[in-house]
Amino acid sequence: MIGYSLMGLMMAKNTLTFTWAFELVTKKHKSCASTCLLVLDFSVSIIAGLFFLSISREWKLLMYPFFAAGALGYIIVTLMVPESPQWLLLQGRKAEAIESLNYIAKVNRSNNRISQDVNFV
């Protein structure tokens, strides 16, 4: 049961990663970001296959480092990436949504900023 719970947590990592990446990346670079994420995700399968083919059939030797890397990545992304502005607006947290949008604009090197008195439709 614990294994299935951990596996579900790691699958949520994929969904969150794509969602956050598409909110942070400009429209021009979304296809490149999507391709990079898919290649990185698939590379885990390639590494696992090569490991089982060449090194060992013992799955625990491979599971623990992958789990640790996934958990570390999840923690880093959670700490560095802001909340979704859309979700914040739906929760009625307008000031935080504007702050999040301005942070995303800063990461994208845009000079556009949203003032606190703006009204969203």
Residue 44: pLDDT above 80? Answer: no
Put simply, whether the predicted model's pTM sits higher than 0.75 gets the answer no
pLDDT, position 51: 80
| pLDDT for the residue numbered 6 | 63
Which one, of 13, 21, 18, lies nearest residue 72 by Cα? 13
- What is the model's pLDDT at position 96? 92
Q: Under a CB-based contact definition with an 8 Å cutoff, are residues 85 and 104 in contact?
A: yes
Find the mean pLDDT for residues 20-31: 77
**Percent of the chain predicted with pLDDT > 70:** 87
- ∠ CA 98-93-83, nearest 5°, is 65
- Local confidence band at 94 (pLDDT 50, 70, 90 cut-offs): very high
